[in-house]
Amino acid sequence: MFSNIPLIFFSTIAVMKIVPGEIKTAQLHAYLLGAVAPRPICFASTIDDKGHPNLSPFSFFNVFGSRPPILIFSPSRRVRDNTIKHSLENVYATKEVVINMVSYDMVQQTSLSSCEYPKHINEFEKAGFTAIPSDMVKPFRVKESPVNIECKVNQVIETGHEGGAANLIICEVLCMHIDDRVLNDKAQIDPHKIDLVARMGFDYYCRASGAAVFEVPKPNVELGVGFDALPPVIRNSPVLTGNDLGMLANATNIPVVGNIMVDDRLAQILRDFDNDKQAQTLALHQYAKDLLQNKEVQKAWQVLLANS
């Protein structure tokens, strides 16, 4: 299917090179959606100038500012026939939209609403959602959504007029509605409770909760030492990955070798490989890697410096 796409070879690694215009737009579209993922879902509720509601999901979407609070989503022109979607028509007509966030327990209904029903068919009814009045705009909110964001449309930027061209709908937030059930005890949105889903390529989605959610600590003021400051024996480790080294390089300083806390495993490594420094180094790096997996960064540093 893609035999006309050239491959560039670096040693034993094959790298596909794609230049827009050299393959079909539909193929390029699929590669972009597979590569730029996961993408949050804008479940957009709009209304036309005669009061007919429309509900449709879009994955070209994100937040772009907080003062003023700005969201942008894009109902692209259809690749197959270069037509525009009802949501875009309604935005031009009324300059209002409600963006409803999509949780896992409503993803199948959300997908159903993306069917291209005729213009005046109510997707709220077709997909089994409950339409509730908004406070500051005419389009309805989706009751089942954990967060509803009422917006006015400030601008629509058309990036082109051919199939696949984007229409950037720049929305300013007027009001947010957040279900109390997705908040933690600090009134913050809990990622596990809101249980959001996001779009991948083709028919794939991902669920942003459970083991898929993890933390990456980052210094807010002080700077990490960086890869270039890591001792060569650590930086060139055959055991530690880029992620492992990134955790070490995120430290604000390299610990000074001093009173190292020797636990049972460290003591055994130092004893078993006392006459083989290369094997000892590999064993220490594997122990450090295990510690890093458990976010024990300072202890990992102590292990790595044990044979300095």
Residue ending a domain, choose from 189, 212, 235: 212
Helix (H, G, I), strand (E, B) or coil at 297: helix
Q: How many domains are contained in the chain?
A: 2
pLDDT digits over 161-199, tens only? Answer: 999 999 999 999 999 999 999 999 999 999 999 999 999
Chain Cα centroid distance, residue 263: 39
Same domain, 203 and 264: no
In a domain, 217, yes or no: no
Q: Does 98 map to a domain?
A: yes
Q: Does 172 lie in the same domain as 128?
A: yes
Shared domain check, 44 and 173? yes
Q: Which two tokens stand for residue 300?
A: 């990992």
Residue 59 included in any domain: yes
The CATH code of the domain that includes 183 is 2.30.110.10
In a domain, 222, yes or no: no
Q: Which residues contact 249 (CB under 8 A, 6 or more apart)?
A: 224, 225, 226, 227, 229, 230
For 288-308, what is each residue's pLDDT tens digit? 999 999 989 989 998 998 876
Domain span holding position 258:
227-307
What the block records as the tokens of 51 is 């009061």
If asked whether residues 158 and 71 sit together in one domain, one would say yes
Tell me how crowded residue 9 is: count the other CB atoms within 10 A of its CB: 8
Asked whether residue 65 falls in the same domain as residue 146, the answer is: yes
pLDDT, tens digit, 9 for 90 and up, residues 249-274: 988 888 776 666 778 999 999 999 99
What is the rounded CA–CA span in Å between residue 119 and residue 101? 23
Q: What is the pTM of this model?
A: 0.84
Give dist(CA 231, CA 239) in Å, integer: 15
Is the separation of the CB atoms in 246 and 223 below 8 Å?
Answer: no
126, two tokens: 């077709």
**218 within some domain:** no
Quote the pLDDT of residue 150.
Answer: 98
What's the confidence (pLDDT) of residue 2?
Answer: 45
Task: Give the three-class secondary structure for 177.
Answer: strand
Taking each continuous run of H as one helix and of E as one strand, the counts in the chain are 10, 14
Pick from 98, 87, 102: which is nearest to 174 by CA?
Answer: 98
Within this chain, do residues 121 and 70 fall inside the same structural domain, yes or no? yes
Per-residue pLDDT 10s for the chain (308 aa) are 444 555 454 456 789 999 999 999 999 999 999 999 999 999 999 999 999 999 999 999 999 999 999 999 999 999 899 999 999 999 999 999 999 999 999 999 999 999 999 988 999 999 999 999 999 999 999 999 999 999 999 999 999 999 999 999 999 999 999 999 999 999 999 999 999 999 999 999 999 999 999 888 776 567 888 999 999 999 999 999 999 999 999 888 887 766 667 789 999 999 999 999 999 999 999 999 999 999 899 899 989 988 76
Peptide bond between residue 118 and the one before it cis (omega within 30 degrees of 0): no
49 and 114 housed in the same domain? yes
One domain, residues 201 and 238: no
Q: What is the dihedral of CA 298, 300, 305, 307, to 10 degrees?
A: 150
Query: 189 and 131, same structural domain?
Result: yes
Is residue 98 within 8 Å of 141, Cβ to Cβ? yes
Residue 250: count of CB within 10 angstroms of its CB: 16
Task: Give, to the nearest 10 degrees, the angle between helix 277-293 and helix 264-272.
Answer: 160
Residue 19 placed within a domain: no
